[in-house]
Amino acid sequence: MEEPHNYRKVGYSMILVAASLVIIGLVYLSIGDDVLYSDRVGKEKQFQYQQMLEDAKKQLGLEKTQGRDLSVSLDEELSVESP
């Protein structure tokens, strides 16, 4: 049986797997027990965006725009009724 010459590739692959596991561990340690981290960040960004829109409306003098407000609050419950 011929000796395979892919030991170098296998070694590099093992180093890559170990490095990725270390990165996953560091991300876990930085987030901690906050399993809803992305949800919290998304809600903060949405709040900042809403504040920016309100400030822009105040600067332009547009207190009420014509038409319906089609924005959806995440706190609302949506119900679907069949006709």
Sequential pLDDT tens for the chain (83 residues): 566 678 888 899 999 999 999 999 998 888 877 778 888 889 999 999 999 988 888 887 765 555 566 665 665 565 667 65
> For residue 69, what pLDDT is reported?
62
What is the pLDDT at residue 8? Answer: 85
**Closest CA relative to residue 36, chosen from 1, 74, 4:** 74
Look at residue 9 in the predicted model and tell me its pLDDT: 87
In a domain, 74, yes or no: no
What is the predicted pLDDT for the residue at 78?
56
Domain with 24 in it: 7-56
Residue 38 counted as domain residue: yes
Q: Is 40 helix (H, G, I), strand (E, B) or coil?
A: helix
pLDDT attached to residue 37: 81
Q: Is residue 29 part of a domain?
A: yes
Residue 24 lies in a domain: yes
Task: State how many domains the chain has.
Answer: 1
DSSP 2: P
| Token code pair at residue 77 | 């419950």
d(CA 53, CA 47): 10
